[in-house]
Amino acid sequence: MSNQDISRRDLKHVWHPCTQMHDHEQLPLVPIRRGEGIWLEDFDGKRYLDAISSWWVNLFGHANPELNAALRQQADTLEHVILAGFTHEAIVELSERLVALAPPGLSKCFYADNGSSGIEVALKMSLHAWRNLCQPGKTRFIALENSYHGETIGALGVTDIPLFSETYRPMLQPPLRAPSPDASQRRTLPDGSVESDADVARRQFVAMEALLAQHAHEVAAVIVEPLVQGAAGMRMYDPLYLTLLREACDRHGVHLIADEIAVGFGRTGTLFACEQAGITPDFLVLSKGLTAGYLPMSVVMTTDAVYDVFYDRYDTLKGFLHSHSYTGNALAARVALASLDIFARDDVVNANRERVRIMAEALAPLRDHPHVLEVRQKGMIAAVELVRDKAARTPFDWRERRGLAIFQAALKRGLLLRPIGSVVYFMPPYVITPEQIRWMVATAAAAIDEGLAAPAGSWSERGPEMA
C-alpha cells in the first residue's frame, strides 16, 4: 500500500477534524504507517519528526515500549468497567498519584473522556456548587480574550477564537471577557524603558479586577489557560497574573478554573503551570498529556470544599449526576500511571531543563529574521511569530496562508509543524535529543524562508488559514 492508495480510500469516507476538505484537492494527506519515538513514518517510507507532539498530546514518543507493555498487560486483565458504583485498581492508584502531584488542596478527581468534556464538567460543577450553596444567581463565567477551551457547546462558549466559534454563536452562552495578559502587548514607557511581562500582567489585571467587582454576584467562575494561551498562537504571560487572580477570586467569592489541558504535565517547565504562581485553583482540568498521547481521558481535580457542597442524602438532590460512558477507562488510567512512572524515574521535569536551554539557544538567531516579530518560550513550548512588516507590526493577510506554505515546506524536509496562522510553534515530545532540537529549529527556519518566498495568495481562493 502506498500513500496514494490509502489517501484515495480515506477521502472517500473520512471527514477530517478542523479541515476544509476541499484543501485536499491540492494538499496531499499524510498517511502514517507507524511511529517510533519522535518519528512518524508514512506509507512511502518517508519519516517526519513530530515537533508538535501530534496535537500536543504525546510526551514520551510514539509506540513507546514501556507504555505499550503497561497497556498490553491492562488489556489482558480488565479493559473497562462502568465507574458508577464500581471501581478498579488503575483508577484508584491514578487518583492517589494525581492528588499527590497536583497543587496542594486538590483532593478529588472526576474523570471525563477528552479535554472539552472536562471543561464542561468544571463549568457545570462550579455553577452547581453555588446552587447547592443557595446562590443560584451565580451562573456566568469570566474568560480571557484569545482563550481556547474546546469545541463542545459549553467549552466553545468560553472560547474566544472567532474562526471556531462565530458560526455557532446562536447556540453559545457568552461569558464576560477580560483582556488577555499576553506579554507581547508590552509597551514602551515615557522614560524609554519597556514594560516587563509582570508589568503587562499587572496592567491587564485591572480590567479583570473591575469585572469581578461589578459582576461577582452573578459569576460562578473565572476560567483561564495558565501561562500559555495555546490555540491563540502560544501567547504567553507572567505567573503574576495567576497570583493576582487567585487572590481576587477568593476576595470576591468566585471559583478559579485552571485549564491545564495543554500546559499540564511539564510543558511549561514545571509539572503544572499553576506551580509557577504558587496557587491552587478550585478546579484543575487535565487531559492531553495525561495518557502521554495514547488514549482520550480527562480529569477535573477539585477541593474537599467543593466536594462537600455536593455531599448529602440522595433526596436533597444535590448530587453531581454527570457521566460519560467511558469514564475512568482502565486502559487509559493504566497508561497514565505508566507515564507518571516515567516522570518519577527519569526526573523528567528536571531533565527537560537542558532541552529547554538548547531550544532557547537554537531559536535565538531567529530574532534577527526580517519577518520575525517575536520569539517566545515557556519551558518546552516555543513560538516564532511572523509578520509581513516587522517595524510596522503588519501581519500577513490570512488569505495568503503563509502557515500552510510553511507546513508544506517543513513536511518536504521531514518535519511535522502545524503553524497557527503565522505563528510557527514547537511543542516536542520529551524524548527529543539535543541534535534533534537543533535540526528541528534549523529545518523550521528553512521552511519559514521557503514558505514566505512562495507567491503570495497561492491559497487565497481556498478558505481560511489552517488552525
Nearer to ligand PLP, 55 or 439 (CB): 55
Neighbours of 389 (CB within 10 A): 12
Q: Which residues contact 242 (CB under 8 A, 6 or more apart)?
A: 224, 226, 227, 258, 273, 274, 276, 277, 279
Q: Which three cell numbers stand for residue 397?
A: 493577510
Q: Which three cell numbers stand for residue 118?
A: 472536562
CB of 229 to ligand PLP, least distance (A): 8
CB of 226 to ligand PLP, least distance (A): 9
DSSP 325: T
Q: Which one among 221, 261, 279, 386 touches ligand PLP, defined by CB under 6 A?
A: 261
CB of 375 to ligand PLP, least distance (A): 21
Nearer to ligand PLP, 279 or 290 (CB): 290
- Which of 133, 60, 96 has the alpha carbon at shortest distance from 432? 60
Give the orientation angle of helix 402-412 with respect to helix 434-453, to 10 degrees: 130
Give the orientation angle of helix 197-215 with respect to helix 240-252, to 10 degrees: 20
Report helix, strand or coil for 224. strand
Instruction: Compose the 418-447 pattern: x for residues touching ligand PLP by CB under 6 A, - for all others.
Output: ------------------------------
CB of 381 to ligand PLP, least distance (A): 11
One-letter identity of residue 448: I
Q: Which three cell numbers stand for residue 222?
A: 473565572
Nearer to ligand PLP, 115 or 281 (CB): 115
Rule CB under 6 A: say whether 262 interacts with ligand PLP.
Answer: yes
CB of 214 to ligand PLP, least distance (A): 27
Q: Which one among 95, 114, 126, 339 touches ligand PLP, defined by CB under 6 A?
A: 114
Nearer to ligand PLP, 114 or 408 (CB): 114
Nearer to ligand PLP, 114 or 443 (CB): 114
Nearer to ligand PLP, 241 or 396 (CB): 241
Q: Which residues contact 134 (CB under 8 A, 6 or more apart)?
A: none
Count of residues in contact with ligand PLP, rule CB under 6 A:
14
CB of 152 to ligand PLP, least distance (A): 7
Spatial separation of the C-alpha atoms in residues 53 and 55, rounded to whole Å: 6
Q: Which three cell numbers stand for residue 129?
A: 456548587
- Residue 89's Cβ-side half-sphere holds a number of Cα atoms within 13 Å equal to 5
Q: Which one among 120, 238, 259, 400 touches ligand PLP, defined by CB under 6 A?
A: 259
Rule CB under 6 A: say whether 230 interacts with ligand PLP.
Answer: yes
CB of 445 to ligand PLP, least distance (A): 26
Q: Which one among 35, 37, 61, 115 touches ligand PLP, defined by CB under 6 A?
A: 115
Rule CB under 6 A: say whether 116 interacts with ligand PLP.
Answer: yes
CB 315 within 8 A of CB 363: no
CB of 301 to ligand PLP, least distance (A): 15
CB 387 within 8 A of CB 373: yes
Output b/e per residue, 13-23; b: 16+ Cβ within 10 A. Answer: eeeeeeeeeeb
- Residue 328's Cβ-side half-sphere holds a number of Cα atoms within 13 Å equal to 19
Judged by CB under 6 A, the chain residues 131 through 150 that form the site for ligand PLP are 148-150
DSSP per position, 99-134: HHHSSTTEEEEEEESSHHHHHHHHHHHHHHHHHHTT
Q: Which three cell numbers stand for residue 317?
A: 438532590
- Which of 305, 318, 183 has the alpha carbon at shortest distance from 250? 305
Spatial separation of the C-alpha atoms in residues 436 and 440, rounded to whole Å: 6
Nearer to ligand PLP, 160 or 238 (CB): 160
CB of 63 to ligand PLP, least distance (A): 21
Nearer to ligand PLP, 277 or 366 (CB): 277
**In angstroms, how far is CA 113 from the centroid of its own chain?**
15
Judged by CB under 6 A, the chain residues 34 through 73 that form the site for ligand PLP are none
Rule CB under 6 A: say whether 129 interacts with ligand PLP.
Answer: no
CB of 314 to ligand PLP, least distance (A): 31
Rule CB under 6 A: say whether 225 interacts with ligand PLP.
Answer: yes
Nearer to ligand PLP, 103 or 414 (CB): 103
Spatial separation of the C-alpha atoms in residues 127 and 422, rounded to whole Å: 37
Nearer to ligand PLP, 263 or 431 (CB): 263
In the complex, which residues of this chain contact ligand PLP (CB under 6 A)?
114-116, 119, 148-150, 225, 230, 259, 261-262, 287-288
